[in-house]
């Protein structure tokens, strides 16, 4: 019987690791919440003392459990269980410890604790893995402070640009200054030096709460991620028509920017459906939309509207094809409605192809543990994408979570979390145990 047909606890509570994993998880999640609660949710800004405090809490516990604890050059937390073959590239298991303002306590932190639990469990059992295992607590995955995401992993890969270092937070502190104050080697970062050789890493494995509703809908406690969607975005598209009196201007003489934008969006929706019928992975969102409050009025045909568009897919060809088709739809609407669409520069994020070998190991582990091995796509970006794009074999596991993420209402059941931990542990032990 699969876990989809019963509670996750029925399986995990019978395992030898369950009791200690439960105790340690609850202890650390409680400590992290207490140290970084902001009155509403959790705030652990990137490269801040609160992010460092979170690292200290996890690191001190890891040290007490007999693991080696250090910081790498990028000031990421590293917890190590040495393997029998010190020459073999280690397996890295982790996620991030920073958060958005008034966020939840599980986004990122759950993945760091997953790595710690796996290493601690092997240490407790006296097992020396074939190769070294490292649990990571990465810096700066969230973009909320500086507008730049994945800063801890990008720094390791030498992919922080000079323009990124000049980014400022709300208080005028630059990313460069924040990094320097946290102890990062800014000179090396400015030169684009890699602080971690991708060839020296055997794999990157990451557990994360799901930020969408798919696992909840499937009644599935955890799932193996099939891939990480990339995106093509326009932060601002302007529809420029002609303002007119709402009562005195007949339909055929109007250049209504709102109707034109609405028409474009409905055509984009029909096109999206066509792609889905072809079984092409795609999601499309118009997250910002509005007329100008300085000039709009109830009795005025709107001559101006602006909106955003966010196109995401696991397949780069699908991204490019839909984006091109969307631009053509805009031209069609322009011709028919007399409204011009002006696009700002597109912002790209490449899809990440996760490692087929590790993804298959995780799916096999799911079968062994009674969890559905039906894959789950990741609509959000993760540090795993940075490692994968750098040539490091990478894979992910999602844990069921209610109410989305980046808010204080994240609701990850601890038994679902331990199911996800067990899934990664089973795959790691089968490969390097």
227, 378 contact by CB (below 8 A): yes
Q: What is the pLDDT of residue 351?
A: 87
Q: What is the pLDDT of residue 352?
A: 87
109, 32 contact by CB (below 8 A): yes
The structure tokens listed for 172 are 């005028």
What's the CA gap between 403 and 410, in Å, rounded?
Answer: 5
Give helix 49-64 / helix 18-36 axis angle, nearest 10°.
Answer: 150
Q: For residue 136, what are the contacts with CB-CB under 8 A and spacing of at least 6?
A: 76, 77, 78, 79, 92, 93, 94, 95, 112, 115
Quick one: which H or E segment has residue 108? Answer: none
What's the CA gap between 271 and 254, in Å, rounded?
Answer: 26
Q: What is the pLDDT of residue 7?
A: 39
The HSE-up count of residue 13 (CA atoms within 13 Å, CB side) is 8
Mean pLDDT by 10 residues, the chain (433 residues): 37 67 96 97 97 98 98 98 96 97 96 97 94 98 90 97 93 97 97 97 98 92 92 94 97 97 98 97 95 94 97 95 98 98 89 94 92 87 93 97 92 94 94 81
Q: What is the pLDDT of residue 202?
A: 98
What's the CA gap between 186 and 191, in Å, rounded?
Answer: 9
Q: Which domains does the chain have, with CATH numbers?
A: 3-229+351-432 (3.40.630.10), 230-349 (3.30.70.360)
Pairing of β 91-96 and β 203-209: parallel
Coil vs helix vs strand at 172: coil
What's the CA gap between 157 and 152, in Å, rounded?
Answer: 9
Q: What is the pLDDT of residue 15?
A: 63
The dihedrals phi and psi of 398, each to the nearest 5 degrees, come to -100, 145
Q: For residue 67, what are the contacts with CB-CB under 8 A and spacing of at least 6?
A: 79, 80, 81, 116, 119, 120, 123, 135
pTM of the complete model: 0.84
Under DSSP, the state recorded for 251 is G
With tokens 């295992």, the residue in question is: 133
Q: What is the pLDDT of residue 8?
A: 41
């Amino acid at each position: 019987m699969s876990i989809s047909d019963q509670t996750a606890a029925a399986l995990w509570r019978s395992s030898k690791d369950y009791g200690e994993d439960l105790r340690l998880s609850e202890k650390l999640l409680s400590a992290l919440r207490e140290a970084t609660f902001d009155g509403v949710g959790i705030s652990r800004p990137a490269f801040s003392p609160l992010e460092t405090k979170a690292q200290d809490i996890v690191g001190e516990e890891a040290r007490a459990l007999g693991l080696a604890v250090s910081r790498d050059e990028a000031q990421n937390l590293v917890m190590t269980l040495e393997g029998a073959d010190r020459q073999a590239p280690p397996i890295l298991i982790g996620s991030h410890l920073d958060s958005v303002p008034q966020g939840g306590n599980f986004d990122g932190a759950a993945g760091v604790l997953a790595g710690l639990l796996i290493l601690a469990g092997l240490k407790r059992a006296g097992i020396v893995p074939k190769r070294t295992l490292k649990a990571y607590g990465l810096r700066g995955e969230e973009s909320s402070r500086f507008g730049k995401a994945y800063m801890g992993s990008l720094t390791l890969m030498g992919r922080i640009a000079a323009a990124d270092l000049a980014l400022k937070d709300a208080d005028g502190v630059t990313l460069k200054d924040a990094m320097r104050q946290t102890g990062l080697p800014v000179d090396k970062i400015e030169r684009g030096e890699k602080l971690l050789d991708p060839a020296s890493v055997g794999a990157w494995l990451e557990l994360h709460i799901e930020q969408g509703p798919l696992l909840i809908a499937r009644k599935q406690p955890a799932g193996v991620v099939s891939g990480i969607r990339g995106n093509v975005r326009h932060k601002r598209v302007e529809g420029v028509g002609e303002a007119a009196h709402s009562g005195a201007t007949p339909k055929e003489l109007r250049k209504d920017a709102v109707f034109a934008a609405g028409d474009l969006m409905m055509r984009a929706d029909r096109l999206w459906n066509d792609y889905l019928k072809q079984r092409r992975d795609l999601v499309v969102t118009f997250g910002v939309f509005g007329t100008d409050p300085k000039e709009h009025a109830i009795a005025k045909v709107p001559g101006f509207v602006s909106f955003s568009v966010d196109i995401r897919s696991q397949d780069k060809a699908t991204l490019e094809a839909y984006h091109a088709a969307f631009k053509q739809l805009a031209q069609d609407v322009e011709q028919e409605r007399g409204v011009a669409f002006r696009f700002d520069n597109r912002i790209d994020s490449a899809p990440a192809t996760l490692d087929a070998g590790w993804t298959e190991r995780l799916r096999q582990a799911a079968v062994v543990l009674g969890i559905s091995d039906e894959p789950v796509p990741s609509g959000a970006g993760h540090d795993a994408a940075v490692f994968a794009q750098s040539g490091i074999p990478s894979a992910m596991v999602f844990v069921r979570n209610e109410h989305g993420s980046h808010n204080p209402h994240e609701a990850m059941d601890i038994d679902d979390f331990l199911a996800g931990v067990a899934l990664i542990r089973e795959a790691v032990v089968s490969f390097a145990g």
